[in-house]
């Protein structure tokens, strides 16, 4: 298993599209990377809205890709179905939960893939595997026919080897999608990683800064809020809503992975006060990011604070720099940037809409390529 849950012929002329196995494809069961769900699953009667749109736009579905169990972890590790191998460094996690979707495009086995992003699950594997991935604005892309984790945060987005592939992915699921070219001086708010000084890998921030310098972006340092508080709040919302989404699995708790059992048990215990405090943090982050985007066209920061953790290593909170964007409901692009000594680095671009973040990403990508 690993990267692919099922391969399809997908013959034809359109772009090869891989679909995360929490998104319905007609005629195939949706397993959500979970043995209990897989045992219960009947073949989907219809395509999810995004798959139906992509087919209509000419995409060839070449298979369904692996993921972390129930989309409920950012590591990409799945002991039941197999963990996709990170093509950038096989010793390291591929990132999740859309692990197979990232690996499929990183290895060239698909031109475009679809993933889901609740706390970073498109951007994190994109960053780990050296590809581009787009978290879409909450509510812009239909989640009809997508296995739900946390409905107030869930989104579907495309991944590809580069910005052009991600743009093509948006056109597949939203016909007529276009990215206007940017003109004039590029400006951005560089989000200060306040409170994370001892946790951030300087090689990653240096790679991000070099890429922005290559594109001659005029940067202004800005404060966005407390990252640790954001991650904690996102964790409360995801575990509370994730428990509700998956409560029907409680009789089968012993058959679920240990981290899913912990998440479910925490979801049960969370109080109304816990959820209210998390909602207050969400509002603060949303207000802060929207206020900054009134002053700057985009906000920039790394996608991850360090290297993808080694397999079996406890690592760090992979969602540290991605979860705030989910809380704000904004779109964000993860874009690979070159780094020294084999370091894996990714730039995250947050903006008011998908068109703006992709236009900005396109310029940075071209500047880096020009060297």
Residues known to be catalytic: 20, 97, 121
Is the dihedral angle over the CA atoms 131, 205, 343, 3 positive or is it negative? negative
Q: What are the backbone dihedrals phi and psi of residue 102, each rounded to the nearest 5 degrees, phi first?
A: -70, -45
Beta-carbon contacts of residue 229 (< 8 Å; ≥ 6 apart): 281
CA distance 369 to 360: 14
Helices (H), the chain: 35-40, 49-56, 99-106, 123-129, 163-173, 202-214, 227-246, 258-269, 272-295, 323-328, 354-370
Instruction: With beta carbons less than 8 A apart as the criterion, state whether 277 and 233 touch.
Output: yes
Beta-carbon contacts of residue 251 (< 8 Å; ≥ 6 apart): none
Tokens of 23: 């998104």
CA separation, residue 37 to residues 21, 232, 256, 355 (Å): 11, 28, 10, 36
CA distance 16 to 105: 10
Taking the CA atoms of residue 297, residue 121, residue 226 and residue 261 in that order, the dihedral angle to the nearest 10 degrees is 160
Tokens of 118: 């609740």
Q: Is 322 exposed, middle or buried (0-12, 13-18, 19+ CB in 10 A)?
A: buried
Is the dihedral angle over the CA atoms 33, 37, 39, 44 positive or is it negative? negative
Instruction: With beta carbons less than 8 A apart as the criterion, state whether 114 and 19 touch.
Output: yes
């Amino acid at each position: 298993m690993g990267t692919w849950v099922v391969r399809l012929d997908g013959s034809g002329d359109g772009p090869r599209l891989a679909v995360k196995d929490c998104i319905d494809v007609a005629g195939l069961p949706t397993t959500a990377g979970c043995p209990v769900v897989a045992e219960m699953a009947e073949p989907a009667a219809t395509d999810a809205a995004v798959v139906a749109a992509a087919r209509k736009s000419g995409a060839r579905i070449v298979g369904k890709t692996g993921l972390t169990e129930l989309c409920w972890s950012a590591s990409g590790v799945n002991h039941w179905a197999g963990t996709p191998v990170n093509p950038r460094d096989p010793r390291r996690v591929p990132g999740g939960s859309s692990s197979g979707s990232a690996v499929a495009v990183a290895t060239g086995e698909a031109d475009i893939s679809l993933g889901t992003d609740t706390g970073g699950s498109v951007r994190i594997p994109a960053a780990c595997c050296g590809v581009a991935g787009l978290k879409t604005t909450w509510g812009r892309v239909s989640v009809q026919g997508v296995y739900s984790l946390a409905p107030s945060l869930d989104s579907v987005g495309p991944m590809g080897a580069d910005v052009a592939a991600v743009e093509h992915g948006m056109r597949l699921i939203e016909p007529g999608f276009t990215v206007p070219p940017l003109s004039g001086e590029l400006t951005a708010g560089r989000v200060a990683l306040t409170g994370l000084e001892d946790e951030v890998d300087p090689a990653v921030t240096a790679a991000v800064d070099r890429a922005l310098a290559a594109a001659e972006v005029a940067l202004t340092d800005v404060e966005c809020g407390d990252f640790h508080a954001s991650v904690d709040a996102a964790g409360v919302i995801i575990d509370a809503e994730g428990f509700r989404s998956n409560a029907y699995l409680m009789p089968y708790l012993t058959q679920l992975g240990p981290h899913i059992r912990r998440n479910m048990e925490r979801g049960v215990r969370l109080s109304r006060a816990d959820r209210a405090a998390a909602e207050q943090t969400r509002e603060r982050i949303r207000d802060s990011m929207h206020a900054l985007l009134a002053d700057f066209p985009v906000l920039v920061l790394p996608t991850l604070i360090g290297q993808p953790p080694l397999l079996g290593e406890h690592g760090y909170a992979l969602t540290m720099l991605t979860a705030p964007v989910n809380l704000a409901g904004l779109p964000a692009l993860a874009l690979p940037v070159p780094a020294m000594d084999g370091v894996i680095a990714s730039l995250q671009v947050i903006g008011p809409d998908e068109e703006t973040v992709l236009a900005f990403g396109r310029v940075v990508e071209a500047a880096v390529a020009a060297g």
